[in-house]
Structure 1
Amino acid sequence: MCGAKTEADMPVEVYWCDNCITPIIREVNSIDKEVCPHCGGEARHLGADLRPVFPEERLLVEILFGKPLEYINKSVWVSNNRYFIDGKLKALPLKTFEKADADKIAQQLLKYKQKNSYEHFNKSIKTFVKANKNRLDYLQSEAFSFINSAVEKYPPENIVISFSGGKDSTVTADLVVRALSNPSIVHIFGDTTLEFPLTMEYAKRFRTENPMSIFKTAKNKEQDFYKVCEDIGPPARMMRWCCYMFKTGPITRVLNNMYNNVNILTFYGIRKSESVSRSKYKRIEDDAETIKIQRQTVASPIFFWKDIDIWLYLLGEDLDFNDAYRLGYDRVGCWCCPNNSTRAQFLSKIYMPEQSKKWRQFLVEFSKSIGKLDAEVYVDTGKWRARQGGNGVVAAEDVKIHFTNCTTENNAKVYRLNKPVTDELIDMFIPFGNQHSELGRKLINEKIIVDAKTNIPIISIQPFEQDGYENAVKIKTMNVKKHDVLQRMIGYQIKKYNACRKCLKCESLCKYGAISISGERYTIDEKKCKKCKMCVTAKYLEGGCMMEKFLKTK
């Protein structure tokens, strides 16, 4: 691929040289994989991946082991919660984090902070970089080749780097700028409002240190995270509405403003080894079902890299990076993400005590509101993260489509609305065809939608009075072969009208920038809409509205 043999053909694992006291990255099929390339001595297999433990995290681990500063002159690495002290395994069970008193640990960290040192760590890292120089040269060369091949069909102004403030996006940004010899590439930073304080500090440093880059910040200023949580419930592992509302949606808006209908190439720091879902991606991806923001092709230069590769590049190239990694975080997305590990949650109790306590208290109160009798246990054991649907949430009623079949007309349904019929509802039908108000019966305020190609009427929309429905609309389909299919898609738009929480998923889904949410109104631009119907197709939008996934009940 892209002019060079890819790492996908050459899987690697980590070995350890007891002579150099450092990890070695070796190809699985290499004949001399058990030989240290630095000293020529014997190297033994250690594991699939590894990351360095910085002095800040090392001190924390020492305190948890009851041995402050015990390993200050040793090379410490970790894989999950398996720590290697000069190559010897010392596991730290998850229960250690669950049982430890965060306040007391914080006091001890402060007590020993002045005695902590980077002296031995820096020496160890120099050895690590020297021992793996060939690997570093290969990673850089292969990535440069991939990047230059990926941009062949795109002018420089249509190339974007997605910058999250994490280690992967930092490496990706450096690779792309260097490979293309272009320091003026657009960087998009998604400020979710839930970033680690250290992430915001790093983003600020990055902007200062890269003055020629076009650095754009995408932020949803219209939504408050806690207020949305009160309305539809906190995000959970399978229901991360926050990603669309606070990251993907705002980034879409920035891209739409900058590029309008132009196709762009975005470089992402996506890695195959990060998760099962990401392992299914392609290194260059443009499939509408896979990418979150349409009208872009996503390219991932570090797709096949391991954690240890990332750190080899960062430390070998002496790059600045997010200081949260020094504390022991292995990922730096939203600090309260339901996907965060037990260790990450423990770290936040230490380094973000006020935010952590506020979040826990909210979770406990929410759990009580949905009927959890053991609310504190439900929260502290992490069961809230496995929550699915809107059981117990008042807003769940909005995603239920209530209708009756009209008794006087065929293929007509009367839908219950939770607000009066307005132009916003009528505009929801733009994806189906064109509005022809003059064809509708004015006495009953009927609106007619005609097929965009044939101009034949296909939908009649009429405000309606129905017993038990305070607000209702009668919608009739006509002159179509499959009335049930069209009515199902119409139901999706009714659901959007009743349940829209401005999650911004629809904005990201539309290839043509026709959908926008301004203030409290969901708007479809008739001039931009191409009638592709992606926004009313379950293949691209399950249940026709993202709120269906977050609020549906059993």
Structure 2
Amino acid sequence: MEFKVFWSKEKNIPIIVDEEKDMIRIKTENLTFISNDLRPVFIEEKHLLKILFGWDESIYYKSIWATKQGKYIVDGVLKRESFIKHIKKIENIEKFREKILGFNPNKKMKNIEESILENFIKENREHLYYLLHSEDIDEEGFLVGAYPFIEKAVEIYKNRIPMVSFSGGKDSTVVSHLVRKGLNNQEILHIFGDTTLELPDTYKYVKKFKEENIFTPFFDERNEENDFFQMCKEIGPPSRVKSWCCSIFKTGPMGTTLSNFDEEFLTFYGVRRKESASRSKYKKLGKTPKIHGGLVTSPIIDWLDIEVWLYILSENIMFNEAYKKGFSRVGCWMCPNNSDISQFLSKIYVRKDSNPEINFDSEDWESFLYEFGEKIVKNYYIKNKIDIDEDKLKIEVKEYVEKSKWKARQGGEGLEKSKDAVIRKKECVNEKNSFLFQLNRNIDIEFITLFKPFGSMIFINKKEIKEVIILNSKEEALFKLLYKDKEREVRVTLIDIEDKYLFGKIVKQLNKFNTCIYCQACNSTCSFGAISVTNGKYEIDENKCVHCLNCITKFESGCLVASALKIRIEDGE
């Protein structure tokens, strides 16, 4: 069933309908198609639009909704003003910011907004009932209604502990409320992956949520051992091509905590297919290696943005204030996947002067991007032996930052750490299927640990030389390693030459050894909780490891950092 958003001229609000099923209502009430999806625009964002577009005072009292493309519908009329074009015209961001932050809505504005939203709730009440209680079966064979679906999922997986993955965004807020209300149980475990990069309003909201839901067990998980800014300096900022931050600062820490539990979980989260092309392929219920216990489900996977808001407003649920300010999503504020609009809003709202509790803000981030951009641009000209004067350098660096070219970067060109991303290899003449690798750090116990996922090991000591034979689950030899402790050369000899992927997997573990900075991303690669990366140690619990090799194949180069730096293998003579 495909729902779309129509406009009621009489009620001056959007109405969610099934174009085929609700044809009579569409004709009777003279509804007109307006958009595939919408979100409400609150008073705070209306004020921003007034200042940005130069609209008059009446804008505060109109019914305004935004499309996913960033266009605004005012009293049923699509406005053509471009948000992006207008922010480029702002000459003084500080003066503009003062006008935004100094706004206080009056009682009349609040009353009008409340009236508009009440009408929206009233006219869409029947549709919300369908979303919550329908016994229809969807294309995957699951119940459509959120409440019966949740009850059935918990019944089928009664041996698993129900848990909510809570981000502080509107979708996980709705899922949290649905699960607790649907199961009539306030004691559902919640876990919040604190990336340390959340919007200030997100931290305020999470704090209020915990205060208002004292019977709901709540885990805050964060990576205490790595600093985002420092990592950006070492391996470059995350990009849309290599978004390394989520694994290190969200799923990694969550995986670390959940691996300490012997129980398995049924994790409810707020993923929706309409959010992006990649998420359109997600299943309503399925396994995931990202969360220990590995079974995740989203009762709102087919909901629209406007349906999420319909539930929040109908149930009068507290939500993240960032949405009122115009943020369409409230993840990490410097995420490379953020829109230009979100990037602009961060310049207004993510500042230390208005949020003294934060460690760094949008000004710090912009300064870093300029420093990084200069390093990248300079490296390009030096590498290609081209001279560049200071004026041209400044122009190109400004363009690199303002046109967000950093979001498209890949590899470690211009970074000192990229030198660790080079593995030197040469084929051995004296032994068939053998290769010598030159590593960038001394071989130690951790080196051997990284080969545990392949299977069991046989250790043979030959005076100074150590020999390790790695066996598979059938006790068949796969390959052997020859090395000396505290040296940097290792000989790899393939024994199972039928496995055409074996060599590549071995190289991935060598990459991992070379570039590992104990970022904790590997913690989320194991569904069995066998990997523990904490306190500068990489450990694998052999009693938990099932030798699935997911920890090796998960990342392109075997290691997230190695993938971000783009590993190179240089053949020797």
Is TM more than 0.5 here? yes
* Counterpart contact for 1:241–1:503, Cα < 8 Å: no
Equivalent pairs, count: 529
* Counterpart contact for 2:226–2:519, Cα < 8 Å: no
User: C-alpha separation between the residues in 2 aligned to 1:278 and 1:181?
Assistant: 29
Match of 1:462 in 2: 482
Structure 1: which 4+ aligned runs deviate by more than 6 Å?
none
Match of 1:362 in 2: 368
In structure 1, the gaps of 5 or more residues are: 1-9
User: C-alpha separation between the residues in 2 aligned to 1:346 and 1:453?
Assistant: 54
> What is the root-mean-square deviation of aligned Cα atoms in Å?
2.2
Q: Map of 1:115-126 to 2, 5 A cutoff? A: 115=106, 117-126=109-118
Q: In structure 2, the residue corresponding to 1:542 is in which secondary structure?
A: coil
User: C-alpha separation between the residues in 2 aligned to 1:450 and 1:381?
Assistant: 50
State the identity as a percent: 40
* Counterpart contact for 2:469–2:479, Cα < 8 Å: yes
Do structure 1's residue 97 and structure 2's residue 87 form an aligned pair?
A: yes
Do structure 1's residue 41 and structure 2's residue 19 form an aligned pair?
A: no
- AA aligned opposite 1:341: S
Match of 2:6 in 1: 15
User: C-alpha separation between the residues in 2 aligned to 1:215 and 1:81?
Assistant: 34
From 157, 182, 187, the equivalent of 2:185 is 182
Q: Map of 1:84-483 to 2, 5 A cutoff? A: 84-93=73-82, 94-100=84-90, 101-113=92-104, 115=106, 117-141=109-133, 142-155=145-158, 158-257=161-260, 259-260=261-262, 262-286=263-287, 292-293=290-291, 295-354=293-352, 355-371=361-377, 373=393, 374-437=396-459, 440-453=460-473, 455=475, 457-463=477-483, 471-478=488-495, 480-482=496-498
Match of 1:528 in 2: 544
Deviation at 1:103, TM superposition (A): 1.6
User: C-alpha separation between the residues in 2 aligned to 1:18 and 1:66?
Assistant: 25
User: C-alpha separation between the residues in 1 aligned to 2:415 and 2:237?
Assistant: 11
User: C-alpha separation between the residues in 1 aligned to 2:258 and 2:470?
Assistant: 32
- AA aligned opposite 1:267: F
Q: Which segment is superposed worse, 127-136 or 486-495?
A: 486-495
* Counterpart contact for 2:170–2:308, Cα < 8 Å: yes
Q: Map of 1:534-545 to 2, 5 A cutoff? A: 534-537=550-553, 540-545=554-559
* Counterpart contact for 2:532–2:540, Cα < 8 Å: yes
User: C-alpha separation between the residues in 2 aligned to 1:489 and 1:110?
Assistant: 54
- AA aligned opposite 1:473: V
Q: In structure 1, the residue corresponding to 2:488 is in which secondary structure?
A: strand
Deviation at 1:68, TM superposition (A): 4.8
- AA aligned opposite 2:318: D
Q: Go from structure 1 to structure 2 and tell me whether the alpha carbon gap of 1:34 and 1:474 turns closer, same or farther (over 3 Å shift).
A: same
Q: Go from structure 1 to structure 2 and tell me whether the alpha carbon gap of 1:129 and 1:462 turns closer, same or farther (over 3 Å shift).
A: same
Deviation at 1:533, TM superposition (A): 2.0
User: C-alpha separation between the residues in 2 aligned to 1:483 and 1:169?
Assistant: 43
* Counterpart contact for 1:388–1:550, Cα < 8 Å: yes
Q: Map of 1:481-520 to 2, 5 A cutoff? A: 481-482=497-498, 485-520=501-536
Q: In structure 2, the residue corresponding to 1:26 is in which secondary structure?
A: strand
User: C-alpha separation between the residues in 1 aligned to 2:223 and 2:61?
Assistant: 46
* Counterpart contact for 2:292–2:526, Cα < 8 Å: yes
1:426-485 deviation digits (Å, cap 9, x = unpaired): 121212222333xx13313313234254545544333259xxx9721222233x243764
Q: Go from structure 1 to structure 2 and tell me whether the alpha carbon gap of 1:279 and 1:457 turns closer, same or farther (over 3 Å shift).
A: closer
User: C-alpha separation between the residues in 1 aligned to 2:182 and 2:498?
Assistant: 53
Match of 1:5 in 2: none
User: C-alpha separation between the residues in 2 aligned to 1:420 and 1:268?
Assistant: 43
Q: In structure 2, the residue corresponding to 1:543 is in which secondary structure?
A: coil
* Counterpart contact for 2:466–2:484, Cα < 8 Å: no
In structure 2, the gaps of 5 or more residues are: 134-144, 353-360, 379-392, 569-573
User: C-alpha separation between the residues in 2 aligned to 1:114 and 1:125?
Assistant: 16
* Counterpart contact for 2:472–2:478, Cα < 8 Å: no
- AA aligned opposite 1:85: V
Deviation at 1:351, TM superposition (A): 1.3
Deviation at 1:263, TM superposition (A): 3.0
* Counterpart contact for 2:6–2:35, Cα < 8 Å: yes
- AA aligned opposite 1:472: E
From 24, 37, 51, the equivalent of 1:63 is 51
User: C-alpha separation between the residues in 1 aligned to 2:284 and 2:543?
Assistant: 34
1:168-226 deviation digits (Å, cap 9, x = unpaired): 00001111111111110100111100011110110011111111111111100001000
- AA aligned opposite 1:368: E
Q: In structure 2, the residue corresponding to 1:150 is in which secondary structure?
A: helix
Q: Go from structure 1 to structure 2 and tell me whether the alpha carbon gap of 1:46 and 1:426 turns closer, same or farther (over 3 Å shift).
A: same
- AA aligned opposite 1:48: N
Q: In structure 2, the residue corresponding to 1:192 is in which secondary structure?
A: coil
Deviation at 1:22, TM superposition (A): 1.1
Deviation at 1:305, TM superposition (A): 0.6
1:49-97 deviation digits (Å, cap 9, x = unpaired): 1111100000110111213533122111111322112112223312112
Match of 1:550 in 2: 564
- AA aligned opposite 2:511: K
* Counterpart contact for 1:433–1:449, Cα < 8 Å: no
* Counterpart contact for 1:446–1:460, Cα < 8 Å: no
